[in-house]
């Protein structure tokens, strides 16, 4: 049985890469093809819709929104159970200095409805500020943001703080603030097609992922490993690793779903009276 798994090229997904390299999936009779999506959650939700991938590791709010908008997929497990810490960035040559001054500025976002878009709105809402659609500029990915910010075409960009840390260290970006997602940051989603056709393989795949996550959290060499593979400073990786926890079971919190729904409705990402379909696969 072959399963195509997609994810971003970031350190959160190392437990899955280690499971592939160790042959843990093959021991269960599952051949995993890993597909990297530099474009993030928006690119992955499209891939799920178009049957280019069977399973993805993506932002909780992104897949919930897209399932509501018709994506034929379901959440099958939480993946990272701690919140994502978003860095609030601007270019090093931008005059912007304070987090409190960002709300009238131009925002770079990977796409409308993405985490970089939603977090900007949720952050503004918590400060009783309102953002207008005209303030957002779609830049597709981190590379697009770096170019847009450096050219002063945009002023603000929300992205996972440790992923962007090397660009702060080399002087391309400066961080003017942080924002913590008010829910667990990553989930695992699968297409309805593979859930219906291969439920046993999906269950076994999750068992391998959860076991690899458990081992990764117990691995004394994990910080060194992440530092080497992702070219991050040891001290930065240590802070990230010791503030991150991965799921070791498939349970998905109903309260977490309610939190996300409240915020995406408040942000007008979906209509307040939107009919909510079944979002979670709960195997009988």
% of the chain surpassing 70 pLDDT: 100
Phi, psi values for residue 163, rounded to 5° = -65, -35
According to the model, what pLDDT value does residue 284 have?
65
According to the model, what pLDDT value does residue 268 have?
86
According to the model, what pLDDT value does residue 38 have?
87
Q: Write down the mean pLDDT value for the chain.
A: 95
Spatial distance between the Cα atoms of 190 and 223, rounded to a whole number of angstroms:
29
DSSP letters, the chain, are: -EEEEEE-SSGGGHHHHHHHHTTTTGGGT-EEEEEE-TT-HHHHHHHHHTTS-SEEEEEHHHHHHHHHTT-SEEEEEEEE-SPPEEEEEEETT-----GGGGGGS-EEESSTTSHHHHHHHHHHHHTT----GGGEEE--SHHHHHHHHHTTS--EEEEEHHHHHHHHHTTSEEEEEEEE-SS--EEEEEEHHHHHH-HHHHHHHHHHHHHHHHHHHH-TTHHHHHHHHHT--HHHHHHHHTT--B-SS----HHHHHHHHHHHHHTTSS-TTPPP---B----
Q: Is the pLDDT of residue 122 over 80?
A: yes
Q: Do domains 2-83+184-266 and 86-180 have the same CATH topology?
A: yes
Q: Is the pLDDT of residue 27 over 90?
A: yes
Spatial distance between the Cα atoms of 38 and 60, rounded to a whole number of angstroms:
17
Residue extents of the structural domains in the chain: 2-83+184-266, 86-180
Spatial distance between the Cα atoms of 40 and 8, rounded to a whole number of angstroms:
6
According to the model, what pLDDT value does residue 283 have?
78
Architecture of domain 2-83+184-266: 3-Layer(aba) Sandwich (3.40)
pLDDT in tens, 203-257: 999 999 999 999 999 999 999 999 999 999 999 999 999 999 999 999 999 999 9
Q: Is the pLDDT of residue 5 over 80?
A: yes
Q: Are 6 and 53 in contact (CB under 8 A)?
A: yes
Architecture of domain 86-180: 3-Layer(aba) Sandwich (3.40)
Q: Is the pLDDT of residue 58 over 90?
A: yes
Spatial distance between the Cα atoms of 227 and 10, rounded to a whole number of angstroms:
12
% of the chain surpassing 90 pLDDT: 89
pLDDT in tens, 28-51: 999 999 999 988 888 999 999 999
pLDDT in tens, 173-202: 999 999 999 899 999 999 999 999 999 999
pLDDT in tens, 66-78: 999 999 999 999 9
């Amino acid at each position: 049985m072959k399963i195509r798994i997609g994810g971003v090229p970031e350190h959160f997904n190392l437990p899955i890469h280690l499971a592939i390299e160790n042959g843990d999936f093959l021991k269960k009779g599952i051949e995993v093809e890993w597909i990297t999506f530099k474009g993030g959650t928006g690119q992955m939700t499209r891939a799920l819709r178009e049957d280019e991938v069977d399973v993805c590791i993506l932002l909780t709010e992104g897949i919930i929104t897209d399932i509501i908008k018709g994506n034929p997929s379901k959440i099958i497990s939480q993946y990272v159970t701690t919140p994502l810490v978003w860095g609030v960035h601007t270019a090093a040559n931008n005059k912007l200095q304070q987090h409190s001054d960002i709300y009238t500025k131009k925002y770079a976002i990977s796409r409308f409805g993405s985490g970089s878009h939603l977090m900007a709105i949720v952050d503004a809402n918590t400060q009783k500020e309102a953002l207008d659609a005209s303030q957002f500029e779609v830049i597709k990915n981190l590379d697009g943001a770096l170019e847009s910010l450096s050219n002063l075409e945009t002023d603000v960009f929300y992205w996972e703080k440790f992923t962007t840390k090397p660009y702060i260290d080399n002087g391309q970006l400066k961080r003017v603030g942080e924002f913590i997602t008010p829910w667990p940051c990553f989930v695992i989603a699968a297409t309805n097609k593979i859930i219906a056709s291969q439920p046993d393989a999906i269950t076994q795949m999750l068992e391998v992922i959860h076991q690899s996550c458990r081992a990764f959290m117990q691995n004394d060499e994990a910080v060194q490993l992440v530092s080497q593979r992702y070219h991050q400073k040891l001290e930065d990786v240590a802070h990230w690793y010791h503030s991150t926890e991965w799921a070791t079971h498939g349970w998905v919190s109903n309260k977490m779903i309610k939190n996300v729904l409240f915020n995406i409705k408040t942000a007008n990402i979906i209509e307040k009276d939107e009919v909510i379909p079944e979002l979670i696969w709960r195997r009988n």
